């Protein structure tokens, strides 16, 4: 490992370690609040970002992190490719010659609410695509990916963090978001 690589690695670890368990626990939204926030019977319902489809722009007041930007997931660079937005929306291009198509997302039947899968796939989780595209994953130890607020419908990069299993296991889990 070069000196520059070591510095980059240490910066990434500092970013991870800047969240104490208590600080992370304070950011967790209770499952009842998450359920109410997205409940279709709620008159003040917040439409999750993934429900805005191809012909719908995310409303300006919901663009809390600036404009929506799509980046190509570096794992998929030849032919079939996924472009992932900073708001967790996903587009697919089947071949180099085809157009980008916004993909629908749905809850994983086995894991429940908040575990969003990309349409027509059995195992591509949206939060993993977002992390692969937008976050730098520290190397070294085995790390899991965590929604900081425990809101699985909020797949913005700033709501995702890599944690070691010891820290991740100490955090409370929401029903449906485990």
CA-CA distance, 130 to 12, in Å (whole number)? 17
Domains of the chain: 3-170 (3.90.75.20)
If one counts every other C-beta atom within 10 angstroms of the C-beta of residue 12, the result is 17
CA-CA distance, 101 to 150, in Å (whole number)? 28
pLDDT tens readout for residues 107-151: 887 777 777 777 666 678 899 999 989 998 877 777 888 899 888
DSSP state of 26: H
pLDDT tens readout for residues 65-79: 789 999 988 887 667
């Amino acid at each position: 490992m070069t000196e520059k690589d070591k510095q980059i690695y240490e910066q990434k670890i500092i970013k991870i370690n800047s969240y104490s368990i208590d600080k992370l626990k304070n950011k967790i939204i209770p499952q009842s609040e998450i359920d109410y926030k997205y409940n279709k019977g709620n008159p003040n319902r917040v439409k999750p970002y993934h429900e805005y489809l191809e012909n719908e722009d995310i409303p300006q007041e919901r663009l809390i992190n600036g404009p929506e930007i799509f980046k190509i997931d570096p794992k998929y660079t030849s032919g079939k490719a996924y472009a992932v937005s900073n708001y967790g929306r996903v587009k697919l291009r089947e071949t180099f010659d085809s157009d980008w198509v916004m993909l629908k997302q749905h809850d994983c039947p086995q894991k429940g609410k908040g575990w969003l899968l990309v349409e027509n796939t059995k195992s591509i989780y949206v939060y993993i695509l977002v992390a692969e595209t937008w976050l730098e994953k520290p190397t070294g130890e085995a790390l899991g990916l965590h929604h900081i607020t425990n809101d699985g419908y909020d797949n913005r990069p700033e709501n995702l963090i890599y944690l070691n299993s010891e820290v991740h296991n100490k955090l409370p889990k929401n029903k449906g978001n485990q």
